[in-house]
Amino acid sequence: MEHDFVGRGWSFPFDVTANGTIATVGGTRKLEQAMSLVLSTYPGERPFRPKFGSRLRDFVYEAASDLVFARIQHEVRESLAMWEPRSAVFEVTVRPAQGQENLLYIDITYVIKGENDQRNLVFPFYTIPEEGSD
């Protein structure tokens, strides 16, 4: 079976199938959902895992700059290294979306450990622009 190492589990967000059973996902899709969950959860949100997640939200009010991009890259690398051991992250790139000043794309190049197939996950990260920047 493809990606036995990754496993199979409930889809995120939670969903049901047409016949009423709980929707599940496996393989690459499951891993990418888990990575997105790590990046979108702030430490302290989960009572029984208070350190789980990433501090990406700390950058919501930051102006886009090379320094902020580097800090985001570092946070993504550290969070995924800590909380998603099934993947090895090779590169993290942060880039602004064309024509949308409050959206950054976080490109994550990774492989599933034990495989040699490099993959890419694009995680959208929304910021709140400064007041008066309309």
pLDDT at 1 exceeding the cut of 50: no
pLDDT at 95: 94
pLDDT at 132 exceeding the cut of 80: no
Residue 99 class from Cβ within 10 Å (0-12 exposed, 13-18 middle, 19+ buried)? exposed
pLDDT at 13: 75
115 CB contacts (<8 Å, ≥6 apart)? Answer: 3
In tens, the pLDDT along 62-87 reads: 988 999 999 999 999 999 999 999 99
Q: Tokens 């895992």 belong to which residue?
A: 49
pLDDT at 23: 85
In tens, the pLDDT along 18-68 reads: 998 898 877 788 889 899 999 999 999 999 999 999 999 999 999 889 999
pTM strictly above 0.85: no
pLDDT band at 131 (very low <50, low <70, confident <90, very high): low
CATH level 2 (architecture), domain 8-126: Roll (3.10)
d(CA 119, CA 110): 5
User: Which one has a higher pLDDT value, 129 or 3?
Assistant: 129
pLDDT at 91: 96
